[in-house]
Structure formats: structure tokens, C-alpha cells
């Protein structure tokens, strides 16, 4: 599924193009995970002020109100001057004066939800539980002391804590495995047992891995592409993810795979010792 880097790459690929546009029409296809929450006609004429990201949600801000967009398990956005007629899996079109934004989602786990503001109960329900932003603009957005405090109270494995998203957002399955490799931490280690130096290394690794993934256009394991239709290439740089049975690029030890919470985890038993 699209993770934080893929969502951020998607945002960057159309945010400036759609900024300042006015909505001309809205087309709804088959129902998505949640209802839109307003009549599509109510959005006509509204000006798009900006496109932000919170975790894996894209926040499309109007001068009044906002759309919260989630790509779900298999969703992707396209933005073009004009798009061909909607297909079976094209479930939302936002037609604007500067182009058409379309959500394509074969499995329909994605969502487009209207909220009057971030203080709207709808927005709070979707965003209120999210943890710190690892790619925020300020040091305080992913504060080390808060990270240490939160991990010290978690007895679950560090991999599962990262995936939960209530401590730090967006570190999905691919990037959790990669971050733990660069931090030298075994994925099954209890979060509460990590020392401060290890937590510091992990925080730095998360920031570095996610930043590199954004630079590489995200990861395309199946069919991810940004709003311009371009695929990502971070998977080519992976040190452990998807490399079970292959030699570690750092030490030559064979990469192992285990199951954690019904998800595959990859690690090097030599490089990740604690």
C-alpha cells in the first residue's frame, strides 16, 4: 500500500499545479471506504488554497472547508489537463479550472472525505490519533525526548510500535524494516528495552530513510505511480526489505524473514544485534 513517502511524492507532483484552481464539477463513482460527507455540487466554485499532508492523508484545503484523501491499499491519484472517460476503478474526479484530479482505486479502501476544518469531528476522528511527523519542517515535529518517552512505555516489539502510527506516523512495513536495519536494531526487540543511544539512531534512521525514499519517488512494488504517472525507485536501494535469503549488502550474512502481526519483516542477523 502507499506509505508516507508515496503520499508525499504524490502531493508534490500536483500540489503547485492545482493551487489556486476553482472546482468546476465533481464526479463520484462506486462508494469508497467512507462517504464524501457533502454533496459534490457544494464544492463547485470553491478555490483550492493548498495541498498538505498529515501522515498518509492528503489535505486539500479550500478557502472554506477541506477534503481529506487517503489512498488506501491500492489507490493512486492522477492530475492532468484532461483525462479519458472514467473506468471501472476510477471513483472520484475533481474537475478544476487547471486540470482534473482523479482517484483510481481497484480495491476501494481509499477515501475522499469532506470536513469543514481540522477541528471538525470528522477530521479529528481521522487525524486526531496520529503520532509525530518524521518529515516535519521543525525539530519539534519529531521530538527526540517525546520519542524516547513514548517508546519506554511500549512493551510491544519496536517494529509493531512503528507500524501502529500513534507514536510516529508513516513508517510502514517497507520503511520500518529499512530504518531498523540502519539503526542496527532487531525488529522483535521490545520498544521499552531500547537504550537512548539506540533510540537516537532509530530516529535519525527514520528521517534519513523516509527522506531518501521521497527523493527516489517512493517505492513501486506493484503499481504505485505519482500524479504524473511516474513510478518510484526506492525499492532498488533496499538493504533488507524483500531480500530474504540474499547476502546483506553490508556484511554478506543472509537476510532473514519473519512474520510479525501478519506482516513480513526482513533483517540482517549480524548487522542488527540489539
> 56, 102, 159, 243: which one is catalytic?
56
> 3, 6, 150, 178: which one is catalytic?
3
- Specify whether the CB–CB gap between 90 and 54 falls below 8 A: no
Q: Which of 131, 14, 11, 12 is nearest to 70 (CA)?
A: 11
Q: How far apart are CA 153 and CA 71, in angstroms?
A: 31
- CA 56 to chain centroid, in Å, comes to 4
The answer to whether residue 56 is catalytic is yes
The single-letter DSSP state of residue 50 is E
Length of the chain: 274
User: What is the number of alpha carbons within 13 Å of residue 148 lying toward its C-beta?
Assistant: 10
Q: How far apart are CA 97 and CA 234, in angstroms?
A: 34
The answer to whether residue 125 is catalytic is no
> 33, 52, 198, 263: which one is catalytic?
263
The answer to whether residue 152 is catalytic is no
The answer to whether residue 2 is catalytic is yes
- CA 231 to chain centroid, in Å, comes to 15
Q: Which of 109, 99, 117 is nearest to 18 (CA)?
A: 99
Grid coordinates representing 204 are 535519525
SS3 241: coil
The single-letter DSSP state of residue 230 is P
CA distances from 185 to 51, 126, 149, 151 (A): 35, 31, 18, 14
Phi, psi of 44 (to 5 degrees): -65, 130
Q: How far apart are CA 183 and CA 232, in angstroms?
A: 24
Grid coordinates representing 167 are 507514536
Give the active site residues: 2-3, 56, 263
Amino acid at each position: 500500500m502507499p506509505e508516507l513517502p508515496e503520499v508525499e511524492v504524490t502531493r508534490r507532483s500536483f500540489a503547485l499545479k492545482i493551487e489556486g484552481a476553482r472546482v468546476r464539477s465533481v464526479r463520484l463513482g462506486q462508494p469508497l471506504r467512507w462517504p464524501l460527507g457533502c454533496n459534490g455540487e457544494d464544492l463547485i466554485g470553491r478555490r483550492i488554497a493548498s495541498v498538505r499532508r498529515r501522515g498518509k492523508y492528503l489535505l486539500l484545503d479550500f478557502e472554506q472547508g477541506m477534503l481529506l484523501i487517503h489512498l488506501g491499499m491500492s489507490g493512486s491519484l492522477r492530475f492532468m489537463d484532461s483525462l479519458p472517460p472514467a473506468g471501472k476503478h476510477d471513483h472520484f474526479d475533481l474537475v478544476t479550472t487547471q486540470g482534473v484530479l482523479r482517484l483510481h482505486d481497484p480495491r476501494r479502501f481509499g477515501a475522499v472525505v469532506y470536513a469543514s476544518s481540522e477541528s471538525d469531528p470528522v477530521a479529528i476522528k481521522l487525524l486526531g490519533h496520529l503520532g509525530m511527523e518524521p518529515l516535519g519542517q521543525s525539530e519539534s515535529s519529531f521530538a527526540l525526548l517525546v520519542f524516547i518517552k513514548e517508546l519506554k512505555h511500549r512493551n510491544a516489539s519496536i517494529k509493531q510500535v512503528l507500524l501502529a502510527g500513534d507514536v510516529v506516523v508513516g513508517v510502514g512495513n517497507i520503511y520500518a524494516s529499512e530504518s531498523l536495519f540502519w539503526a542496527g536494531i532487531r525488529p522483535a526487540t521490545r520498544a521499552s528495552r531500547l537504550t537512548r543511544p539506540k533510540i537516537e539512531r532509530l530516529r535519525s534512521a527514520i528521517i534519513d530513510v523516509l527522506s531518501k525514499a521521497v527523493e527516489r519517488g517512493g517505492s513501486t512494488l506493484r503499481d504505485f505511480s505519482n500524479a504524473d504517472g511516474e513510478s518510484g525507485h526506492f525499492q532498488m536501494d533496499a538493504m533488507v526489505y524483500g531480500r530474504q535469503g540474499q547476502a546483506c549488502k553490508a556484511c554478506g550474512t543472509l537476510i532473514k524473514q519473519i512474520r510479525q502481526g501478519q506482516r513480513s519483516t526482513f533483517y540482517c542477523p549480524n548487522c542488527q544485534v540489539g
